[in-house]
Amino acid sequence: MLLKTSRLILRPWTEADAESLYEYAKNPSVGPAAGWPVHTSVENSREIIHDILSADETYAVTLKDNDSAIGSAGLLRGDKSNLKIADDEAEIGYWIGEPHWGRGYIPEAVRALMRHAFKDLRLSTLWCGYFDENEKSKRVSEKCDFTFHHTEHDKEWPLIGAVKTQHVTRITREEFGALTHPAAENLRRNLLRFSDAARAEAIALPLNVAASDAEKAAWVRRITSALEEEFSPEDIRTVMMGCHCGDLCRLDEMKKWLCGLYNESASLADFVERVNAHGVEWTLENNAIYTKFLWCECHMLREVATLDSSTWCHCTEGYTKALFEHVLGYAVESELLQTIKTGHDCCIVKIVPKREHPL
């Protein structure tokens, strides 16, 4: 079985993955933090694929444009878990190679696995454990809405010959089903600036965090229609610019990456040049940065071929504005010039820095 996200494919492990597995698993910063030992050779990795990773519901995490395994995510059901759990429950485990840390890949993979566990396998509860010192794993469980359940002290981990303190979190199918998608919550919050609570609730229809791409597409079309019937273009733009989905659209990851490039740059022109060295196509004209997106970045629109208007795409404008104000440290003006979903070959957002208005 394959599980797909906007950037990833989760697929079964094969012995052909041994070399890529060893490349990451030989790093002592990876395995021991997750409770398993450093791999000693490609052959050792091949044996582990055969004996362990080939189990049902254990997936290699790969990038969509590259089938090489960069990490793993899986479910340990019932008595296969390291925890004492029921047969209709599972422990979720995950890791990713160090070169890919900080890019949001594992939360993205875990959310896909959660949807599969609750929607397809109909499990009642998912559990997640992390060692006391493993802040990265803790952060993943928090991002994916697991809540603290208990702590296990002095727990022996024979594979790494250590005694550990493990914190255990969980989420039930009912809790997962009640989670509101960030897009719906942000929309409702922004609508309260222009309407009363009843009107905001009527427009910002519920959307579950586990909604399928088709369900999200239908939701976007309903919301777009309702907004265009109720509000002026200016108010719609203001509402939508605050609707970007934070973790789901990798805002923190992009902030960190662009801040690093900006801090190394001598000028805006140098900054744009450094960004473009990574395959991006930005331009700088008359102190305005024209950011070009060669594909639609919005995970809400994967099943949407075209839109009749750019109403929804002001979300991307707001995302871009928030990103640049964080990186530059002062206010910027933004303008959405064109979008892929309204028939253009790329999305372009114009950013005009306002150095005289520090944040």
- 290 and 198 in a single domain? The answer is yes
- 90 and 205 in a single domain? The answer is no
Q: Give residue 357's pLDDT.
A: 56
Q: Give residue 249's pLDDT.
A: 64
- 230 and 155 in a single domain? The answer is no
- Output b/e per residue, 119-142; b: 16+ Cβ within 10 A: eeeebebbbbbbbeebeebbebbe
Q: Give residue 248's pLDDT.
A: 60
Tokens of 248: 């789901």
Burial class (CB in 10 A: 0-12, 13-18, 19+), 79: exposed
Tokens of 234: 């200016």
Which stretches of 80-188 are assigned E, i.e. beta strand? 89-96, 125-131, 147-157, 162-172
Split into its structural domains, the chain has a count of 2
Strand pairing of 125-131 and 347-358?
Answer: unpaired
**Backbone angles phi and psi of 12, in degrees to 5:** -65, 150
CATH number at residue 258: 3.30.1380
- 148 and 257 in a single domain? The answer is no
**Final residue of a domain: which of 144, 178, 212?**
178
CATH number at residue 26: 3.40.630.30
- 159 and 201 in a single domain? The answer is no
- 253 and 110 in a single domain? The answer is no
Cα separations in angstroms, 234 against 230, 241, 312, 354: 12, 11, 13, 21
Q: Give residue 172's pLDDT.
A: 96
**Backbone angles phi and psi of 240, in degrees to 5:** -70, -30
Q: Give residue 96's pLDDT.
A: 97
Closest CA to 169 of 193, 188, 151, 190: 151
Helix axes 233-241, 213-230, angle to 10 degrees: 140
- Count of beta carbons in the 10 Å neighbourhood of residue 226: 15
- 154 and 206 in a single domain? The answer is no
- 255 and 299 in a single domain? The answer is yes
- 282 and 187 in a single domain? The answer is yes
d(CA 98, CA 306): 38
Three-class SS of residue 2? coil
- 205 and 174 in a single domain? The answer is no
- 250 and 141 in a single domain? The answer is no
**Final residue of a domain: which of 157, 178, 199?**
178
End-to-end CA, the chain: 48
- 132 and 279 in a single domain? The answer is no
pTM (whole model) above 0.85: no
**Final residue of a domain: which of 137, 152, 178?**
178
Three-class SS of residue 202? helix
Q: What is the pLDDT along the chain (359 residues), one digit of tens a residue?
A: 899 887 899 999 999 999 999 999 999 999 999 999 999 999 999 999 999 999 999 999 999 889 999 999 999 999 999 899 999 999 999 999 999 998 889 998 998 999 899 989 999 999 999 999 899 999 999 989 999 999 999 988 988 999 999 999 999 999 998 888 888 888 988 898 888 888 888 888 888 887 888 888 999 999 999 999 988 999 999 999 988 776 566 777 888 899 999 999 999 999 999 999 998 899 999 999 999 988 887 888 888 889 999 999 999 999 999 999 999 998 999 999 999 999 999 999 999 998 765 55
Three-class SS of residue 224? helix
**Residue 85: which domain range?**
3-178
